[in-house]
Amino acid sequence: MKIARLSGARRTFTLSKPPATIEPRSTAAHIVIRAFSALTVSKGTKFDPKMALSFEVLGRFNRARAAQLTLPHWVCQTPLFMPVGTQGTIKGLTTSQLEEIGCQLILGNTYHLALRPSSELIDELGGLHKFMNWQRALLTDSGGFQMVSLLHLADITEKGVTFQSPVDGKPMLLTPEESIEIQNRIGADIIMALDDVVKTTITGPRIEEAMYRTLRWIDRCIAAHKRPHEQNLFGIVQGGLDPVLRDICVRGLVDRNLPGALGADMYDCVYPTRTARFGTALIPEGVLKLKHKAMAEDVRPIDTTCECMVCKNYTRAYIHCLVTKDAMGSELLSYHNLFYMMKLSRDLHMSIIKGCFPEFVCGFLQRMVLVSEGYRLWCCLSHVLDVNLDTPQQSFLTQVLSEISCSNYNA
């Protein structure tokens, strides 16, 4: 690994109360609501012969869009969910299983892959696709997110980010140039520019500093990128929750004619697999806790509407026996949870194509969100469907909320 080592480093929403095993107010709902809200992009990426992708918008509903993203290793349908395979693997699942559930693109992490097994070794063995036996698309994060997740181990300056290695404790300097060099060796279809990442809860001058530094770093990333015909360098919009700063950043990225920017058509999260390892399954009504004693004699599948291998072959009672004692429990739940997210992405895509996106969103939220959060749901729907609450379309949302309030909760 060529990350520079330093001699010293310093730092930086009831109808009736549902069973205890089902929690509609879950992170799962937050993931999906965030995904709905993310389908908001002003213009589609135009094909550039010098870029290693093409992007075709297939359908729209207001700000939501469904598209086809052609990458060197796979043709992806968006919106899409990317499972997180930090070190070149989705814990507990084989690449064949990921293909089986319809996974299109896996996310890997530059920082962790550079530590182990090292980008040099991956390069020598033919790149990450060959190394992990994955024929479809890959995206590598720049390592910038570790500025937040490992903040106690990082020191951020104009030059780059100095990390204290979680492996051996030694300080390492990750610069924009080094991040791109590592990602060029790893060989993912999409590589991310190193950005100055700050928590969304932060306010004040640090937000502006991070935004402008991100733009300065993108220029260094562009200059360091040696494989533009094979790998697509994406930017990341910074500016916190400040719309003015985010607009400045977006315009800056557009001016640089990058192939794309992350956050509109593609989304990732470790939650589906991480929560699986704690015995929790994603279902249309929220989450199902398989560790709960109520599951011990439940002979139903996790989700009677799900067509995944797990729901076709195993009962809640069986998985309940496994989740605290056997690794197979987390593997089965990881398979189911990722199948759920892949199907959700496909359903989103098709609802936009078929022109029934509002109905899909309302149907989803009707099952997922509880009445006590009615106002919050109202606001969410108005944002996702681009409906002004002060217009006659308000009656549409009122009807949806009324239907939700009158619905019976089905466990």
Active-site residues, by number, are: 141, 268
Tokens 């998985």 appear where? 319
- Quick check: 342 and 81 in contact, CB under 8 A? yes
Cα 251 to Cα 260: distance, rounded to the nearest angstrom = 12
Q: Which long-range contacts (CB under 8 A, 24 or more apart) does 207-213 make?
A: 207/238, 207/239, 207/240, 207/242, 207/245, 208/239, 208/242, 208/245, 210/238, 210/240, 211/238, 211/239, 211/240, 211/245, 211/246, 211/248, 211/249, 213/158
Helix, strand, or coil here: 192? strand
Q: Angle at the Cα of 103 (from 130 to 1), degrees rounded to 5?
A: 35
Indicate the residue type of 340. Y
- By residue count, the chain amounts to 411
- Quick check: 58 and 284 in contact, CB under 8 A? no
**Beta carbons within 10 angstroms of residue 21's beta carbon:** 21
Tokens 């951020």 appear where? 156
Cα 310 to Cα 307: distance, rounded to the nearest angstrom = 8
